[in-house]
């Protein structure tokens, strides 16, 4: 055991006492949460160029209303009232009569204008929008642009046109505006947790509001953090072991330690590296949310589980990576093996959303009890606001412990056989043979 710790200490020092580790520690969350950060930074960056829109109104109901609505918008909504700074693009509307002889030619001409950037989009309003019939073309409103799916202009016109249609329908019913005042008042269903009892005082506690942050972001961060720690600690073992084999350091060390001690020294060093990084992130996150007054969002009861699953996951993945590294003869071998070896930790990332949405489903439960996925997926389920049955994390933990023991045993047998072997390609059949026959 002493030798394992001497090896682990060297691994830890060589990893942590480098600029690369500090830079990686700072940059990893930036890369991982890059899309969130970019979204947050870019959300106020709006394209302010003028938007010219042409309308083909088959109904003949909208010209006066939309012209006025656009005029009001450009006057009242596109400038910041305090600073006078423009914050939204101005809209310029043009109505054209439908070409009843060849509507497709007319729409093609308008499309060409959009393509040549002479205008932003055109809208075709069907003739039967007030009283929709069976024909979706006649009853619909169509918006044509180069990027119609994600276009704020489309949303604005959809709201305005439907507002006018609603007004016209109310008018047809001879109802006064006052009598329908509350008719369209939408009441949201507030998302809350469950009523609980305060363990200290015994008093009944009211339910807390459950937001998107607790439902999605907290579980997401937990799993991404574990993925990052694996990338930082376990995955590099493949190339590290391969390099020590190729640089002939392995045999020098094997004069003093057994192959198993060698492998475990590297894995424990990696665990220490990952725990250091994880502690930095988690303490940093807890302090930050505390400063922001959002401590209630942090699932403190999950943190011990996080560390237990993290340690087991690094041993499980790390022993596999070290074994594969020992079987490689060059960088080409290592590159070929790295991606397949990472699949068990990549799959949970792909199936995160369905599991966050339905943490109690059969699919979620089954996958989270498969040992290679348990550390990430059980933690994901436990991080959601939904309570999962108590036996499941315990059963998952037992499964992971058993599978980790198997990984270390199998990895150790491959490692022992391959670490001094030269010229043999790391084929699956050979690796299985080494596990079975040693």
Name the percent of the chain in helix, strand, coil, to the closest 5: 65, 5, 30
Q: Does 14 sit near another protein (CB under 8 A)? A: yes
Q: Which stretch binds another protein (CB under 8 A): 72-80, 117-125, 254-262, 292-300?
A: 254-262
At its nearest, how many Å lie between another protein and the CB of residue 252?
5
The torsion of the CA quartet 47, 52, 57, 63, rounded to 10 degrees, works out to 100
Binding residue for another protein, selected from 125, 244, 272, 278, defined by CB under 8 A: 244
Q: Does 131 sit near another protein (CB under 8 A)? A: no
At its nearest, how many Å lie between another protein and the CB of residue 150?
49
Binding residue for another protein, selected from 6, 210, 285, 388, defined by CB under 8 A: 6
At its nearest, how many Å lie between another protein and the CB of residue 18?
9
Q: Does 437 sit near another protein (CB under 8 A)? A: no
Binding residue for another protein, selected from 25, 254, 285, 388, defined by CB under 8 A: 254
Nearest Cα to 141, choosing from 118, 115, 165, 106? 165
Question: For 99, how many CA atoms within 13 A lie in the half-sphere containing its CB?
Answer: 10
Q: Does 332 sit near another protein (CB under 8 A)? A: no
Beta-carbon count within 10 A of 374 CB: 26
Beta-carbon count within 10 A of 362 CB: 8
Nearest Cα to 104, choosing from 119, 124, 129? 124
Nearer to another protein, 72 or 251 (CB): 251
Binding residue for another protein, selected from 3, 63, 113, 138, defined by CB under 8 A: 3
Nearer to another protein, 229 or 264 (CB): 264
At its nearest, how many Å lie between another protein and the CB of residue 3?
6
Q: Which stretch binds another protein (CB under 8 A): 125-133, 166-174, 212-220, 252-260?
A: 252-260
Which residues have C-beta within 8 Å of that of residue 388, sequence separation ≥ 6?
Answer: 359, 360, 381, 382
Q: Which stretch binds another protein (CB under 8 A): 4-12, 225-233, 269-277, 429-437?
A: 4-12
The separation between CA 357 and the C-alpha centre of its own chain, rounded to angstroms, equals 13
At its nearest, how many Å lie between another protein and the CB of residue 330?
15
Q: Which stretch binds another protein (CB under 8 A): 67-75, 114-122, 255-263, 352-360?
A: 255-263
Binding residue for another protein, selected from 1, 2, 84, 330, defined by CB under 8 A: 2
- For another protein (CB under 8 A), the number of binding residues is 21
Q: Does 7 sit near another protein (CB under 8 A)? A: yes
DSSP label at residue 88: S
Identify whether the C-beta of residue 384 lies closer than 8 Å to the C-beta of residue 378. no
Cα-based angle 219, 222, 227 (whole degrees, multiple of 5): 125
Q: Which stretch binds another protein (CB under 8 A): 59-67, 191-199, 257-265, 355-363?
A: 257-265
Q: What is the torsional sign of CA 282, 283, 288, 293?
A: positive
CA distance 435 to 3: 25
At its nearest, how many Å lie between another protein and the CB of residue 8?
11
H helices present in 351-427, as ranges: 352-357, 362-368, 374-383, 391-418
Q: Does 43 sit near another protein (CB under 8 A)? A: no
At its nearest, how many Å lie between another protein and the CB of residue 247?
4
Q: Does 248 sit near another protein (CB under 8 A)? A: yes
Identify whether the C-beta of residue 237 lies closer than 8 Å to the C-beta of residue 326. no
Identify whether the C-beta of residue 285 lies closer than 8 Å to the C-beta of residue 298. yes
Strand stretches in 114-212, DSSP E: 121-125, 141-145, 196-197, 204-205
Nearer to another protein, 3 or 113 (CB): 3
Binding residue for another protein, selected from 26, 40, 252, 283, defined by CB under 8 A: 252
Site for another protein in 373-432 (CB under 8 A): 420
Burial class (CB in 10 A: 0-12, 13-18, 19+), 395: middle
Q: Does 152 sit near another protein (CB under 8 A)? A: no
Q: Does 331 sit near another protein (CB under 8 A)? A: no
Q: Does 19 sit near another protein (CB under 8 A)? A: no
Nearer to another protein, 182 or 255 (CB): 255
Burial 413-433 (b: 16+ CB within 10 A, else e): bbbbbbbeeeeeebeeebbee
Site for another protein in 260-299 (CB under 8 A): 261
The separation between CA 380 and the C-alpha centre of its own chain, rounded to angstroms, equals 12
Q: Does 108 sit near another protein (CB under 8 A)? A: no
Q: Which residues bind another protein (CB under 8 A)?
A: 2-3, 6-7, 10, 14, 244, 247-258, 261, 420
């Amino acid at each position: 055991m002493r030798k394992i710790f001497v090896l682990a200490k060297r691994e830890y020092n060589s990893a942590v006492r480098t600029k690369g580790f500090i830079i990686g520690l700072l940059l990893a969350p930036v890369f991982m949460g890059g899309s969130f950060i970019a979204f947050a930074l870019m959300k106020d960056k709006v394209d302010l160029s003028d938007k010219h829109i042409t309308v083909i109104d088959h109904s003949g109901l909208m010209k006066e209303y939309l012209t006025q609505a656009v005029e009001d918008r450009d006057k009242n909504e596109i400038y910041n009232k305090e600073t006078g700074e423009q914050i939204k693009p101005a809209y310029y509307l043009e109505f054209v009569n439908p070409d009843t002889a060849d509507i497709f030619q007319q729409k093609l001409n308008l499309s060409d204008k959009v393509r040549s950037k002479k205008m932003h989009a055109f809208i075709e309003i069907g003739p039967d929008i007030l009283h929709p019939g069976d024909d979706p073309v006649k009853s619909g409103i169509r918006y044509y642009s180069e990027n119609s799916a994600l276009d704020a202009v489309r949303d604005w016109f959809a709201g305005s046109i439907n507002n006018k249609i609603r007004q016209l329908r109310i008018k047809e019913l001879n109802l006064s505006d006052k009598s329908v005042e509350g008719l369209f008042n939408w009441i949201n269903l507030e998302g809350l947790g469950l009523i609980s009892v305060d363990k200290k005082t015994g008093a009944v506690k009211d339910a807390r509001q459950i937001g998107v942050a607790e439902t999605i972001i907290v579980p997401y961060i937990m799993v991404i953090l574990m993925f990052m720690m694996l990338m930082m600690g376990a995955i590099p073992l493949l190339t590290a072991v391969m390099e020590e084999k190729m640089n002939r350091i392995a045999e020098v060390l094997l004069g003093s330690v057994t192959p198993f001690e060698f492998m475990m020294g590297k894995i424990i060093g990696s665990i220490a590296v990952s725990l250091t990084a994880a502690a930095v992130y988690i303490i940093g996150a807890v302090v930050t949310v505390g400063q922001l007054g959002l401590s209630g969002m942090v699932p403190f009861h999950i943190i011990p589980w996080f560390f237990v699953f993290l340690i087991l996951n690094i041993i499980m993945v790390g022993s596999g990576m070290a074994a594969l590294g020992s079987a490689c003869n060059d960088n080409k071998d290592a590159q070929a093996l790295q991606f397949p070896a990472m699949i068990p930790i990549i799959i949970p990332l792909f199936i995160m959303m369905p599991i966050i949405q339905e943490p109690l489903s059969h699919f979620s439960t089954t996958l989270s009890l498969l040992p290679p996925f348990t550390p990430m997926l059980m933690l994901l389920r436990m991080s959601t606001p939904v309570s999962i049955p108590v036996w499941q994390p315990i059963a998952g933990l037992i499964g992971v412990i058993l599978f980790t023991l198997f990984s270390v045993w199998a990895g150790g047998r491959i490692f022992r056989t391959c670490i001094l072997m030269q010229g043999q390609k790391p084929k699956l059949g050979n690796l299985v043979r080494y596990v079975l026959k040693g």
